[in-house]
Each structure stands twice: as C-alpha cells, then as structure tokens.
Amino acid sequence: MKASNNLIDYIRTTEGYHDKPYISDYEDCIGYGHRGKTKHESLSEEEAYQLLLNDINRIEKYLNILKVEWTQNQFDACVDFIYCLGLDAFMRSVLRRNIVMKKKIDHKCFTGWHYVYDGEKFLSSEKKVARRAWEWARWSGEI
C-alpha cells in the first residue's frame, strides 16, 4: 500500500517548507520536517519534496512488512504517526502492538504521544496534540 496524495499534501502543509536546517520540537530538521542531521545547507522546494517522498517510502516499506489489511485511512494515519514521531516510537507504541495483535484501536493509542523532551523534562506540544488528533480522525474515518 502507498500513502495517499491527501496525506502527502497534509504533511507538506503542516510541516511547511524550510529551505535551511531548523529546530522543531528539539530536533534538527530540513525541508518538510525531515528529521536528523543533514549534509544539506539548503534545499530547493523540489529537493525537499523528494526527501519527503523518500522518507515516506521507507515508512511504507516497513508498514507493508506487517501484512495488515489496511484501509487507506489507517495506513495514512500510521505513516503520519511514524513520520512525525519516528519508527522507534511506533515500535514501542500500543498502537503497533494492537495492530499486530489485531486488537481494538482507540483514540488513546494516538493521543498519548504528544510530548517532547527538552533535555531536562517532557513537555506537551500543541503541534503534536493536533497531529495525533488528525491521525485518530483519519484512522477512524472522520476525515
């Protein structure tokens, strides 16, 4: 399965285009929210878009290994969850466990993941609260 164009547009809109490295929630980013240190000092919008598609492609490959019968909404919600929080967070999540074990998924599987670590303590992030709400709405078919 592939991420929908709606999801890609959503990520581009919510992350915004940044041609130079920046800090988001205490992480190094560039382009449309690409996480991690980068060799790039700047990116064109096309290069940023390609980096986004490459990141999404890696996430798609992982999710397709799970052999789940996804709806498009469910797949999009999980791609966004991983794009925003990282594969390590998804691997530790109740969301992943419940998907693999074919258990019920409820809003709590998404909404608890809204904290960022500032080096000293965990803080709630309004951006992540909104993102988890969108993912739950997408998963549940509300949008």
DSSP-derived 3-state class of residue 17? coil
Task: Kindly state the helix (H) or strand (E) to which residue 18 belongs, with its residue range.
Answer: strand 18-24
- Set 15, 46, 60, 120: catalytic member: 15
What single DSSP character describes residue 28?
E
Active site annotation includes 120: no
Q: How many residues does the chain have?
A: 143
CA distances from 78 to 20, 31, 48 (A): 27, 21, 21
Task: Give the residue numbers marked as catalytic.
Answer: 15
